[in-house]
Structure 1
Amino acid sequence: MTSAQHPAIAIAGLAIESSTFSPARTTTAAFHPKRGAEVMEKYAFLAPGMPLRESATWLPALTGKAIPGGIVTREAFEQLSQEIVTSVRDMLPLDGLYFDIHGAMSVEGIDDAEAVLLRLIRDAIGPDVVVSASLDLHGNVSRELVELVDLITCYRTAPHEDEDETRERAVRNLVEQLSADGAKPIKAWIPLPILLPGEKTSTRLEPAAGLYELVAEVESRSGIIDAAVWVGYAWADEPRSGAAVVVTGDDRAAVTVGAQELATAFWEARDRFPFVAPTDSFANALDTAFASRELPFFVSDSGDNPTAGGAGDVTWGLTELLRRPELAAPDAPQVIYASVPAPTIVAEAVRAGVGAMITATGGADVDARHAGPLTVSGLVHSIRHGDRDALTEVVLQIGSVFAVFTELRKPYHYEHDFTRLGLSPRKMHVVIVKIGYLEPELFDMADGWVLALTPGGVDQDIERLGHRRITRPMFPLDPTMATPDLTARIVPSLDGGERRK
């Protein structure tokens, strides 16, 4: 150890969910790379004066987090990876590395991108450095990734309300491991051939709620450091895609039993995971919404959800909405639709200004498989510049529909996302968002909700996607498959578990 009191710990990682079923591509800028002091600002638990901050010498390299999207370009991955590798090599000697990732990054021409990145880092820092990783529970966890890390954990809530808590747990586990005079942890990994969309594994509902309660119970046992269950990421067509369990600790029997208990519980519940909301076709969802007296009524246009990896610019949902006969009535219901990236419509609205009537065409620049560019005529209701993700947002009032168009993709998860645009979602009859499960603020706001099974790169009906490269058999694509091998695989550390020097 560099110092008995202050081990040297680097921080690095790239995080994104990448749908291989989307035609979109993710470039370097989408990760908003942070370096040096900017990295530290991300972690409140590492603020000056906090106990974890004082427990080590922290050496931030580069971290990047992108909105879920399409496959990462090879150029972007190689550029960012090389910078990380160069940076951590310059930091040597190191005692530890905190690897902050998502776990579902797909890269052009590369399978298992996070393991490839960590292998590059390991080649620079060596096998003895203790690595602790935190992931989203929608990650796909391969044996190679488990071999390359020493500690690994993931979120326990979906929607994700424990991101900071999970990162802090990963860092605390790392610091405590470095202070212990012993071998690296024992890791029990069990891959599960289950591939469910995230909207079927919300921890608001059973059986996911009970499964993640069991995770905490297993972790509390003697001899166990951490327990984690990944439901996987269904929209990546890679051999590693699927669910997984990893339990780490210093007691081989305890981690083995804990991992097998979690894997068995997940497998036995595999056909009991419901969608997080009532589901229907988009047409039927709109029928229900317009007839409802529960206001506001939310509809999830889920197939092009940008926070799951959709291109975001599919115009199919808005096209279908604007055809509805209810909107031609004098007392037409007021509707928000958020959103469609359409730079040409945004530019025309900005040129004309608030209050102007415009006709413009846009959308479907990336994903035109389900509907082409949309021509709309409407009143420019509002314009907002400077959004971190969207850059510029405009609202067009098209009859009783307030349609949000953006320069770049942006998810609409919070009430202020709407109120900043001069919209009052609580006063609307219907709010349609490109999202799967409603994030907490919208969930609390909604008096009614239907999850519409719409087309796009993150189609909730995964059987329509046409997976070709995943490992088969896979539930539910192979519903009558036999029970898989649920015995724990003890994955050795790179140094063979020898005592640290």
Structure 2
Amino acid sequence: MAETTARPRIAIAGMAIESSTFSPHRAGERDFQRVEGDELTGRYDAIRNGELTDRAEWLPVYYARSIPGGAVLPEVYESIKQRICDGLAALLADGGTLDGLFFDIHGAMSVVGLDDAEGDLITAIRDVIGPDVVVSASMDLHGNVSRTLIENVDLITCYRLAPHEDTWETRDRAIRNLVEALESGTTPHRAWVRVPILLPGEKTSTRVEPAKSLYARIPEIEARQGVTDAAIWIGYAWADEPRCHATVVVTGVDEAATAAAAEELGQAFWAVRDDFEFVGPPGTLDDAVVAGLAATDTPYFISDSGDNPGAGGTGDVTWTLAQLLQKPELTADDAPVTLCASVFDKGALDLLRTHAIGDEVSLEVGARIDSGPHGPVRVDAVLHSLHEGDVDAGGVAVLRKGGLHIVVTEFRKAYHAITDFTSIGLDPASAQIVVTKIGYLEPELYAAMRGWTLALTPGGVDQDLERLGHHRILRPMHPFDAFDSTPDLSAEIVR
């Protein structure tokens, strides 16, 4: 471990995106938001105004983040990796020292041509900073922990809630673990258990059993003597890579205690593998629409789960929209209000900008990236409203056909918050049905809904994993394969 001072020097860097390898979308330059300087250190409450502010010298390097999507273009990944490595090298130039690195990642990034993007990134970083700088990583529980990643970080943790209401708490915990390790002069080791389970997030939400109880075990384990942190990764189901599987990692200074705890959690996970069910009532889109129209307490939410941009879907699959347009009970002039968000299509926005609000328009929208489930859809409707300047969506148009209000955006955007709708003049509370590309409902939408169907629709994040056709994951894997006996769930100590 690097020699520390009374005030350790800690760098901050990372890159985050959740990438579906089943999605034809490719994440490019525009998809990533870049953060550096004071803006980067200011992201973290524990540093900004917490107890860790004065316990280290904080050295912001570079952080890039994208909403989920497809695999990252190689040239975009390489440019961000180089920016991070160059920034770290600059800190070490002319005799500069570095004690720690907070590595802020998602953990399910795919890059065209790579099998383990985060493993590649941390390896490049280690080439710059050397083996003695203490690295602490914060991850999404839907990330993947590869052998390369676990060998190159010293401390690692992930979210304990899905939906992820503890995102910032987790980052602060990873930072705190790093500071305490540097102050104590003792770097914990890792007890790593690979669990051969691969399930979608919609079946593993901590709102419901068995994930609720599984994750509830963590605080007691973390409180044990010699244990620093305990983490369970569900893994990311919509990438077809060897590292895609569930994982348990327990970090601590007591090798026996960490190994025992990791095996305990791994065995507990395996024991409930057949108990995982969808967090929301699943059903077909037709079933969902029938239920939504019959609902007397509204709004009724329908998750267009197969094309959820929040999990890696392209956001332009038109299969659901095509079905809705064929339903006169939604498109008649006297039909109740249904909101449908969204489909992105830059060409459609360019055309709609030539029209006035209230014009009758006829155009094809969507399926420019992912046309697998359905091609572009012809929409004959009224231009209800037009908006500019959304930081994610760019231009936004609302097309109205009877009661159906269709949101078309210039660029990819997930409609996962109430303000996403109200900012364009649509009020979910006044709608009969709200259809949005999402899986489990984010907390704000969950609180607003009065009924809900998780519609099992097609797309790059299809809930039917076998329909997607994984062929590169390590087998056997539950639920793809039957197991005649319990797999090896022994912990491997990584020092």
Task: Return the TM-score normalized by structure 1.
Answer: 0.96
SS of aligned partner of 1:340: strand
Number of the residue aligned with 2:349: 346
8 Å CA contact 2:332–2:401 kept in 1: the answer is no
d(CA) in 1 for partners of 2:361, 2:334: 23
Which segment is superposed worse, 471-480 or 194-203?
471-480
- Secondary structure, counterpart of 1:338 in structure 2: strand
- Name the SS for the 1:457 alignment partner: coil
2:473 pairs, out of 464, 470, 486, with 470
Give the distance between the partners of 1:414 and 1:181, measured in 2 at CA: 44
Letter in 1 for 2:417: Y
Partner of 1:72: 72
Separation in 2, partners of 1:228, 1:260 = 12
Asked whether the equivalents of residues 135 and 153 of structure 1 are also in contact (C-alpha less than 8 Å), the reply is yes
- 1:497 alignment partner in structure 2: none
Deviation per CA, 1:45-102: give whole Å up to 9, x if none.
Answer: 221x532121111111110111100011111111110111111011122100000000
Write the letter of the residue equivalent to 1:369. Answer: G
Distance in 1, matches of 2:434 and 2:485, equals: 43
* Counterpart in the other structure of 2:180: 176
In structure 2, the residue matched to 1:222 is: 225
Q: CA deviation at 1:192?
A: 0.5
Query: Structure 1 residues 35, 89: CA separation in 2 closer, same or farther (over 3 Å shift)?
Result: same
Match of 1:151 among 149, 155, 165: 155
Give how far 1:3 is off: 5.9
Q: 1:330 to 1:38 in 2, by over 3 A?
A: closer
2:4–2:182 contact (8 Å) kept in structure 1: no
Question: Could you list the per-position Cα deviations for residues 121-161 of structure 1 after superposition, in whole angstroms to 9, with x for gaps in the alignment?
Answer: 00000000000000000001112211100000000000000
Q: Tell me which residue corresponds to 1:117.
A: 121
Q: Is the 8 A contact 2:234 2:247 kept in 1?
A: yes
| Greater shift in the superposed pair: 126-135 or 23-32 | 23-32
Partner Cα separation in structure 1 for residue 354 and residue 421 of structure 2: 22
Structure 2 unpaired stretches of 5+: none
What is residue 278 of structure 1 aligned with on the other side? Answer: 281
3-state SS, counterpart of residue 257 of structure 2? helix
Cα offset, 1:346, TM superposition: 1.7
What does residue 496 of structure 1 align with?
none
> Cα 1:479–1:292, aligned 2, differ >3 Å: closer, same or farther?
farther
1:89 is aligned to 89
Aligned to 1:196: 199
Alignment of 1:457-496 (within 5 A): 457-492=460-495
Report the Cα distance in structure 2 between the residues aligned to 1:153 and 1:3, rounded to whole angstroms: 23
Residue matched to 1:129: 133
Confirm or deny: 8 A CA contact 1:193 1:473 kept in the other structure.
yes
Structure 1 letter corresponding to 2:10:
I
Alignment of 1:38-53 (within 5 A): 38-47=39-48, 49-53=49-53
Is the contact made by 1:338 and 1:412 (CA closer than 8 Å) also made in structure 2?
A: yes
Tell me the alpha carbon deviations over residues 199-241 of structure 1, each in whole angstroms, 9 at most, x when there is no partner: 0010000110101110121111111000000000000100010
Match in the other structure for 2:16: 15
Q: How far did residue 345 of structure 1 move?
A: 2.2
| Distance in 1 (alpha carbons) for counterparts of 2:402 and 2:82 | 51
Q: What amino acid maps onto 1:10 in structure 2?
A: A
CA contact (8 A) 1:2 1:8 kept: no
Q: Do 1:299 and 1:431's aligned partners in 2 also have CA atoms closer than 8 Å?
A: yes
Asked if residue 367 in structure 1 is aligned to residue 338 in structure 2, the reply is no
The alignment partner of 1:78 has SS state of helix
Amino acid at match of 1:13: G
- Which structure 1 residue ranges, 4+ long, deviate > 6 Å from structure 2? none
Paired position in structure 2 for 1:25: 26
Please say if residues 331 and 401 of structure 2, whose CA atoms lie closer than 8 Å, have aligned partners that are also in contact: no
8 Å CA contact retained: 1:99, 1:133: yes
User: How many residues are treated as equivalent by the alignment?
Assistant: 490
The farther-off stretch of 422-431 and 165-174 is 422-431
Amino acid paired to 2:156: I
More moved, 354-363 vs 90-99: 354-363
Partners of 1:378 and 1:481 in 2: how far apart? 57
Q: Kindly indicate whether the alpha-carbon contact (under 8 Å) linking 2:476 and 2:483 is maintained by their aligned counterparts in 1.
A: no
- Mapped to 2, the partners of 1:383 and 1:482 lie a distance apart of 59
Q: Is the 8 A contact 2:20 2:69 kept in 1?
A: yes
**In the alignment, is the contact (CA less than 8 A) between 1:196 and 1:234 conserved in 2?**
yes
**In the alignment, which residue of structure 2 is the partner of 1:440?**
443
Structure 1 counterpart of 2:46, which letter? F
1:498 is matched with which residue?
A: none
Aligned equivalent of 2:270: 267
1:384 counterpart = 2:387: yes
Identity of aligned residues (%): 53
Take 2:331 and 2:439, find their aligned partners in 1: how far apart are those partners? Answer: 28
Cα deviation for residue 343 of structure 1 reads: 1.5
Identify the range of structure 1 (77-86 vs 279-288) with the bigger mean alpha-carbon deviation: 279-288
- Cα deviation, residue 357, structure 1: 2.3
Question: 1:6 Cα shift?
Answer: 1.4
Superposed displacement of residue 374, structure 1: 1.4
Conserved 8 A contact 2:9-2:59 = yes
Q: Deviations over 1:325-377 (max 9, x none)?
A: 31355532210000000222222222213222222222111000111111212
In the alignment, the residues of structure 2 paired with residue 485 and residue 3 of structure 1 have an alpha-carbon distance, to the nearest angstrom, of 39
Q: Secondary structure at the match of 1:32?
A: strand
Tell me which moved more, 424-433 or 22-31: 22-31
The aligned runs of 1:266-345 (5 Å cut-off) are 266-329=269-332, 331-345=334-348
* 1:166 matches 2:170: yes
